[in-house]
Amino acid sequence: MKMYIAILTIISLTFLLSMTSKNQTSSEPFFQDSLQANRDKFLNELKEEIRGKEKWRVDSVFENLKVLGGFPAENLLLAMNSWSRALGVSCNHCHETSNWALDANPKKEVARRMSEMTSKINTDYLANMQGLPSGRHIINCTSCHNGKLKPALKIFD
């Protein structure tokens, strides 16, 4: 069930990002993401590394996956890009980009725990909450971070 929610979260993030760009009325981006070019560099390198393996299970293509698994490898790249956009960071915030599998950066473990937290909220709370309007309800990184590394702690000043 946790894997199912993780996959739904990845799909919903991808969908939300695609909808954001489709609903624009001008040629200006929804928001200025100064780190996207940097992420694109790493994403393109990784796409090249996994060429021909995009549809393989992610855990058979990438090493040291402790939380995510069971979906196509190409979806991991979409998810990582979405998550880093949601936090306003680039790949090197959590990863050693010369060796993606390393766990030297403690922020990588924080990201794992945050992924588990959102899955737990979605499965244990939102999925069973009475009184919500009909439809599917999920939270994701953007729900709290909204493009910033540190989520807002105060709603009003």
Q: For residue 70, what are its two tokens?
A: 């069971």
**pLDDT tens digits, the chain, 157 residues: what are they?**
555 555 555 555 454 444 444 444 444 445 567 889 999 999 999 999 999 999 999 999 999 999 999 999 999 999 999 999 999 999 999 999 999 999 999 999 999 999 999 999 999 988 888 888 877 788 999 999 989 999 877 777 5
pTM, to two decimals: 0.75
Q: Which residues contact 109 (CB under 8 A, 6 or more apart)?
A: 103
Q: What is the pLDDT of residues 47-75, one digit of tens each?
A: 999 999 999 999 999 999 999 999 999 99
Tokens read off for 116 = 């588990």
Structure tokens at 49: 């590394």
Q: Are 148 and 88 within 8 A, CB to CB?
A: yes
* CA-wise closest residue to 4 among 128, 142, 127, 141: 127
SS (H, E, C) 4-15: HHHHHHHHHHHH
In Å, what is the CA distance from 35 to each residue of 41, 62, 146, 155?
10, 23, 15, 26
